């Protein structure tokens, strides 16, 4: 049995193919008599509209793109799951692109918006930009920048409150008596690195003033960098009593090295993490950390993408910040004063 086509429906209803197509797409109101004839033909022929063809006729794909550096970390895996669930709830498809944090892959995926392969992109990068990426985002159109800034872009942006998160970590350590600390995190060229360090420094100096001593190691948010930073700290015999490791991955790497070296947390060294998406509560000891609202970030990013009026660049929403929370566990101990 052959499958009925749009042309078959049009012939049976006595109207043009264009009339049936526009009626099905919701772009044409028909007189009652004509509408009844078209609906009867659809029913009699058991016509099943081609959803792909209908989307193309509307100039839409009903698909959203999500561009992330990788999918291996708990942070990005959780973000993907949140966006996927929200897209499904809204009846949309999701295409996932892992860039391996490479600029050329990011640029190729941005082309997908310009070629109308997706209706918009949620875009996450994890490296500084020389202006090339910012230009590509600005000319691509419907892009929401999430988690990490791309300086020079004029699109909706959504971040967690990195500055407040750094402040919470610094305040927590300073109030426990720690004034000689090590900050392990991103570079100043990245929004997260600059703001987390700025908040941490502000909290430490509020309590300790000029007596606050902060060492800083800058690098990637990775387990490997956490390991190398911890080894560097031990080899340099840094005179610190606490570490602020600004991602789950860095925290994991630091703990591996400390455990291997027989450094006890928090008896010998206190530790605060950031993200709290991975199983920090299962570590021994459970790690105090600043928690990012990762699922809420994903859901809100999709809302921004779908609800923004993209026809008027002057009305694009400003940078939006979502709150973070300090989750207190067992990895910070008061400094023992002699």
Q: Please indicate, yes or no, if residue 308 is contained in any of the structural domains.
A: yes
Among the residue ranges 26-35, 86-95, 145-154, the one predicted with the least confidence is 26-35
Do 300 and 254 lie in one domain? The reply is: no
Do 83 and 178 lie in one domain? The reply is: no
Q: Map residue 117 onto helix, strand or coil.
A: coil
- pTM (2 decimals)? 0.81
Q: What integer pLDDT is reported at residue 49 of this predicted model?
A: 66
Q: Please indicate, yes or no, if residue 111 is contained in any of the structural domains.
A: yes
Do 19 and 99 lie in one domain? The reply is: no
Do 137 and 193 lie in one domain? The reply is: no
Residue 7 sits at φ, ψ, to 5 deg, of -65, -40
Positive/negative CA dihedral, 286, 287, 290, 296: negative
Do 93 and 211 lie in one domain? The reply is: no
Q: How many domains does the chain have?
A: 3
CA atoms within 13 A on the CB side of 93: 11
In angstroms, the CA 201 to CA 198 distance is 5
In angstroms, the CA 115 to CA 119 distance is 10
Convert the pLDDT of each residue in 87-144 to its tens digit.
988 888 899 999 988 999 999 888 877 776 788 899 999 999 999 999 999 988 899 9
Convert the pLDDT of each residue in 252-310 to its tens digit.
999 999 999 999 999 999 999 999 998 999 999 999 999 999 999 999 999 999 888 88
In angstroms, the CA 152 to CA 325 distance is 29
Domain that holds residue 27: 6-57
- Prior bond to 313 cis, omega within 30? no
**pLDDT of residue 50 exceeding 60:** no
CB 147 within 8 A of CB 160: yes
């Amino acid at each position: 049995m052959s499958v009925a086509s749009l042309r078959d429906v049009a012939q049976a209803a006595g109207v043009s193919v264009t009339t049936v197509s526009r009626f099905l797409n919701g772009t044409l109101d028909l007189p009652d008599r004509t509408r009844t004839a078209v609906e009867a033909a659809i029913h009699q022929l058991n016509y099943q509209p081609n959803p792909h063809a209908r989307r193309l006729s509307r100039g839409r794909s009903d698909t959203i793109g999500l561009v992330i550096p990788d999918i291996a970390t708990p942070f990005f895996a959780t973000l993907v799951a949140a966006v996927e669930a929200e897209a499904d709830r809204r009846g949309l498809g999701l295409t996932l692109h892992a860039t391996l944090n490479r600029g050329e892959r990011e640029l190729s995926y941005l082309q997908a918006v310009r070629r109308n392969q997706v209706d918009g992109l949620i875009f996450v990068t994890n490296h500084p930009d020389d202006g090339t990426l910012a230009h590509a985002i600005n000319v691509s159109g419907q892009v929401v920048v999430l988690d990490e800034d791309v300086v020079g872009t004029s699109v909706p942006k959504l971040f967690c409150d990195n500055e407040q998160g750094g402040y919470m970590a610094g305040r927590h350590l300073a109030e426990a008596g720690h004034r000689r600390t090590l900050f392990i995190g991103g570079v100043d060229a990245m929004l997260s690195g600059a703001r987390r360090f700025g908040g941490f420094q502000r909290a430490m100096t509020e309590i300790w003033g000029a007596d606050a001593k902060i060492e800083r190691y800058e690098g990637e948010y990775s387990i490997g960098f956490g390991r190398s930073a911890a080894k560097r700290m031990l080899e340099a015999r840094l005179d610190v009593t606490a570490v602020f490791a600004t991602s789950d991955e860095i925290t994991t790497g630091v703990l591996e090295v400390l455990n291997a070296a027989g450094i006890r947390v928090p008896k010998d060294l206190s530790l605060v993490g950031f993200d709290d998406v991975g199983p920090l509560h299962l570590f021994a000891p459970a790690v105090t950390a600043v928690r990012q609202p990762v699922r809420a970030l994903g859901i809100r990013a999709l809302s921004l993408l779908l609800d923004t009026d993209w026809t008027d660049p002057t009305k694009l929403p400003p940078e939006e910040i979502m709150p973070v929370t300090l989750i207190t566990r067992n990895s910070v101990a008061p400094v023992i004063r002699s």
